[in-house]
Every structure is written in C-alpha cells, then in structure tokens.
Structure 1
C-alpha cells in the first residue's frame, strides 16, 4: 500500500462551553468517516485496555462512553473488550479482569455498554485465524469475541512500552487481541515453563494437557517442550501461577509478530481506529503503577489506517520536548532526542512493527494529517 492515508487530529483544547472533550472526540471520528461504516444491527467490538489495578494512566471510561454512544447512534451494538493477560496480575482470567475493569470505572452505567472478555473465562476461548503473508505466524490465536464481532474499533492509549518500544494501535490490536496462547506465541516460541519454587505438584497441568507435556516428579511439575503445543491451558489452570511464559523473544521479532497478529484481526471486515496521546507513560498500562508522562498531552487521532495512525502519533510525540521530572528528561532528552521511545528503552525497535505491518498490507506509514 503506497498511497497516503488520512489521519485526523484534534487537540485537547475546549475553550468554549459549546463542546466538551468526549463531544470533540465524537466530532473527530465523524469527520474522519466513522459514519460511513454500516453498523445497523451489527455487533461492534471496541478494543481497549482497562488498566491494571494500581495504574492511573489508562484511558478513562468517559472516552469509552463517547465511542460506545457514537456506535449506538449509528444503530450498532457495542461492547468493550480485551483478552486476558499472560502474566500474573489482576486481569489473568475473565472474572478478575472484569472486576479490575469495574474497579477502574468501566461499568455498563459509566460506559453505556457491556464488557466481554474476548478469550473467555480462562483465556482459552480462541479462534485460529490464518495470517496471509505471515513470516512468523501462519495462524494467529485470537479471542473469540473479537472475531465474532461484525465491526472492529480500536481505542488506544498511546504510550511507551518496555518490550515493544511503543504501545500504539498495532500493539493494542495485535498483542491485545491474542488469547493467552497467542500472547505466549508472540513473546517466545510459545512454550511455558514451571517456576519450581511455586509448584505444589497438584497435577492440574497434567490433567488438562491433551499432549502429555507436563510431568510430575518429586512433587514438582516439568514441561516436555517437545510435546508441548503452546495452547496455554496449563497456565490457566495452575492454582499457584507456577506455570509462566519466558519473555525472551527478540524485540524485532516480537514487533513483527504483533503486526502479523494485527493483520489476523483487521482483515476482511470494517475497522476504525482511535488513538489518544495523553498521559504518555514510559511503560505499558499492564504495570500496576505508572510513571510521570514522558511528554505533555498532545491530542486525539483517528483513521481507518492503523499503521498511518501509529506513525502520526509517534511523530507527534517525537516533536514534543521531554516533560520535566520524567524518565525521558532524566536521560537528557531536552528536545534534541532523536527517538523518545528508544531513549527510554534502548533495546527496543518499535519502527520494525510499522515497517512489517506496511509490508503485510495493513496500511502505510505515509499520511496526511488533517486538523479539525
């Protein structure tokens, strides 16, 4: 895809009583062509991150309500969604995940729609989706509710990321829509390991496995990686969280896998993407804490092209001076820093994700920024 994509932008200024920020977001989305999508009677997934409990940088429920209300005004049936996490935390199963979302303010009464955790109770309700042109992923494991939706919308909190370098729209979609097994496949070869000191030898992993990979010996489990197919079911049933994923994938390959998972999600149906460059924390919202934003708030962006959207957001962040007191400021980036994200996380390669996504035909990095 070589032609230029349109990315629409609005700042966070609301100097008049005539319009508030949620209304401004709705106006931005409609100007960007949101109303051209046929949503009448359709199920509309709004993919977002509800925030790990303890984190305060996640997008507030007010933004989700603005999007959900706009979907309903077009005749659609919206639901908020995300998949369970691979790591141990407040969102590792659907019950904890929904509870965490409620604690952070995402209730049907505050957002105007329900939450569906896309990969089910234990993170195993997935659909195998072929990835056309995939170099590392031939079949992506995507949460079923995401794939059941007729229309897909991403609502992204744009930020830094300790592994991918940048947490933008592609990250929100690719990693976020992967089931637990899908997340494991992206982070490593797709094989879990047993943290021996946590294991009590209960045998839950051995009973759930259809391939006889977990073995119990001496009161501890081990996993035969030759037999393991990476389904992630043992992670879901372990009562002590002793079975975990080794986060050892090289940054460039991780980002390519994220792009390939994104392609699986967006191919073949109407999609629309919103990214808010606000509270640009250096790390993911999966952290149970958040640091000082690395730059000042920039604004809201919308596009049909997720690649162009990420590039536009990245460029907007790069154009900002570092925020005093932030980790970026501490590293001496006073406006002359060439790459804010790599300055914070030097071993990451965020550009690779956009380059690979462009190669896969998801979108283009060339964009026209249209300000409203």
Structure 2
C-alpha cells in the first residue's frame, strides 16, 4: 500500500514571502487544487480560542485558507461546535462573541462564522460510523455535515486528556455536538487525592455540571453521577490532586475521537492542516496558555489526518525541550519516563491509542512520506 504524503514547510519567512503565502503553497502541494470547490459549501473547522488564551491560531491563517477556497469558486465558512465546560463558548451567542473578540470576523477572515451545532448545541446530525467499535452513530454539528467539503485548520498543541490535539481532535471532539462531546468523554471519571488537595476550589469553578463539592475538611470530592468526564478539573488543578482513576479511560477517549473524526470526513473531499507553533501543554479551551513545551516547528498538510497527526508528533518529539516549561518541570521531577514529549508532560495520556485505532477503522495510515517544501 502506498504511503500517505504529508507536506511540510518551516516557519522561515525571508524577504519577498510570508507565512500566509507559504501556507497556500503548502495547501496546493497537499492537493487543495484537486478538490472540486466550485459553488460548494466548504467548512473550515477551526478552534476560535477561549478568551484569555493567546496561543490559538491567528485569524490571518484562516483568511489565507478561505481566500484559497474562494479562488477555486468555493463558499467557505469558519465553524466550531459549542463546549461542555464552563467558559465563553458554551452557546452560539457567547461563542460568536468570543470568536469576534479573538479576531475571527467576516471582515478579518473573508467569510462567515457559523456555530455548527446551533444556539444551545442541540442542532446535530446523526451520522453512522463505519467500523465503529465504541460509537455506532456520531452526533455531529449539523452545519459541518451540511458542507460539501471539509478543511480542518488545526493548532497542534498538548492536551491533558488526549496527549496532544491535532487534526483528529479538532475533527472528532470539535465537530461533536454537546451530546456528542458527552458521549466521547463519559468513559472517564476523575477522583481526588485528598492528601494533595488544598481546598483552593479552582476545580469546582471549572466544572460545568456541579459535580465537585467540599467537606468540612475543605477537601474536594467528585460526584460521578454528575461528572461527564470532560477532564477540565484535571487541567485546572495546580497540585496534582485530581487524577484519572481509570487508566484505560483516556485510551477509550482517543478511540472515540477517532470514530467521530471518521464520521465527519467519510466519503467527502477533505484537506487537513496542522500548524505546529506555540505548542502549549494544554488545549486552547483553557482561558490561559502556558509556556510552549518545545520551539515552533512548522506547517504540515495532508489529505490523511492520521498520517498528518503522526508526522507532527514525530517532528515534535525530535525537538529540544523548552526551558522552564511544564515539560521541563516534569522531566526534572520524573526523568524521561516515556521517551515522548506529550506523555512526559501528562503521564496519564497515551496519544498513540488514537492513532492505532484510527488506522484500524480505516480513517488513515500510520505510514507516511514527509515531503519538505522550500
């Protein structure tokens, strides 16, 4: 079987060019020009960033993608679905204000911004998952499924539950309606190490479901009947007092994300772009961003989202560790236990489980050739 091609360019921008020109060149090399976009609706799936976070992709990248789509006669729109957790993107109105605040407007990006699962996250399409083992019918934001072409524009960064977030995460979890996100998250329920808990109550402020309460000793406890397993409390706790008691839960989450991603792209023209810069340890869903764990790497594109994510992970693992980062702190305390930057940053994660399952269900290939553009 022929290897998937993943195209790469670095972040150098010498006089006479710029990163946006390089991005469009990268897209054309990866096959954008071969996609029939004439009079087609083209969903550009992107994460608008939680206000307060400054590592999300700049709107300029989105405009470069939208402009190329319009050059080919397509009708692009930027899109994302509503979130489960407490924040500024849990309904379409707040989500749009957050997107505008972070610079994603029709004026700046050259195309409309549409929240795919509607006002309250309930506007969904039920999509069969061919070969699904965990999900038989994915709940996907309707506007995503109404599109003729799917382009994912992804900020490749770390994640406290999945190891990293790239094309699979942006497509699978990102395109899931609120019910779809709950279905993906529900296998893992965190617990509290009461000896480490200091009663700061930050975790409860990040819980959208009222699952965290405090006893007379000021220690937190989690009601698993209310918890949906979204993992926000894991990322919020600065004292490592919240942990995932079910080590297989994150593996199952990655597998469900792969199945949701397959539901989104199956049988449709697609292109996927990972921009590997500002590689923060946490997801852009956080209302803050930590110091990047590695230096900026570059831009990658492919029609195969699995090969794309694997190529980016391999490239990241070849990079030096950023001094003073969370990864550097973890290495200083525990050593290079896992020989992987993302798992060393969050030892409860195993991103390879998602890649392996995506290959198993036919979403893409783990065999790739990296083609470097000058």
- State the TM-score, normalizing by the size of structure 2: 0.84
Stretches of structure 1 lacking an aligned partner (at least 5 in a row): 199-224, 226-242
Aligned length: 328
Query: Could you tell me how far apart the structure 2 residues matched to 1:159 and 1:99 are?
Result: 24
Give the match for residue 245 of structure 1: 228
- Output one character per residue of 1:104-154: Cα deviation in whole Å (capped at 9) or x when no partner: 000111100111000000000000000011111000000000000000000
Displacement after TM superposition at 1:303 (Å) = 0.3
Give the match for residue 178 of structure 2: 180
Segment of structure 1 superposing worse, 24-33 or 188-197: 188-197
- What SS does structure 2 have at the residue aligned with 1:106? coil
Give the match for residue 298 of structure 2: 299
- What SS does structure 1 have at the residue aligned with 2:5? strand
- Output one character per residue of 1:199-221: Cα deviation in whole Å (capped at 9) or x when no partner: xxxxxxxxxxxxxxxxxxxxxxx
- What SS does structure 2 have at the residue aligned with 1:347? coil
Map 1:92-103 onto structure 2 (within 5 A). Answer: 92-103=90-101
- State the TM-score, normalizing by the size of structure 1: 0.84
- Check whether the contact 1:82–1:117 (CA below 8 A) recurs between aligned residues: yes
Give the match for residue 146 of structure 2: 148
Give the match for residue 192 of structure 2: none
Map 1:153-302 onto structure 2 (within 5 A). Answer: 153-188=151-186, 195=210, 245-247=228-230, 250-302=249-301
Give the match for residue 308 of structure 2: 309
Query: Could you tell me how far apart the structure 2 residues matched to 1:347 and 1:246 are?
Result: 14
Q: CA RMSD in A?
A: 2.3
Displacement after TM superposition at 1:345 (Å) = 0.3
Query: Could you tell me how far apart the structure 2 residues matched to 1:197 and 1:160 are?
Result: 25
Q: Which of 53, 56, 60 is 1:55 aligned to?
A: 53
Give the match for residue 327 of structure 1: 326
- Check whether the contact 2:140–2:175 (CA below 8 A) recurs between aligned residues: yes
Query: Could you tell me how far apart the structure 2 residues matched to 1:288 and 1:254 are?
Result: 23
Moved over 3 A (4+): 189-194, 246-249, 333-337
Query: Could you tell me how far apart the structure 2 residues matched to 1:280 and 1:190 are?
Result: 25
Give the match for residue 317 of structure 2: 318
Give the match for residue 21 of structure 2: 23
Give the match for residue 235 of structure 2: none
Displacement after TM superposition at 1:324 (Å) = 1.2
Q: Which of 124, 135, 138 is 2:136 aligned to?
A: 138
- What SS does structure 2 have at the residue aligned with 1:175? helix
Residues 319 and 194 from structure 1, CA distance in 2 versus in 1: closer, same or farther, beyond 3 angstroms? closer
- Check whether the contact 1:85–1:92 (CA below 8 A) recurs between aligned residues: yes
Query: Could you tell me how far apart the structure 2 residues matched to 1:321 and 1:196 are?
Result: 39
- Check whether the contact 1:151–1:270 (CA below 8 A) recurs between aligned residues: yes
Displacement after TM superposition at 1:296 (Å) = 0.3
Query: Could you tell me how far apart the structure 2 residues matched to 1:22 and 1:308 are?
Result: 23
Displacement after TM superposition at 1:268 (Å) = 1.1
Map 1:81-120 onto structure 2 (within 5 A). Answer: 81-120=79-118
- Output one character per residue of 1:154-185: Cα deviation in whole Å (capped at 9) or x when no partner: 00000010001111110010000000000000
- Check whether the contact 2:84–2:208 (CA below 8 A) recurs between aligned residues: no
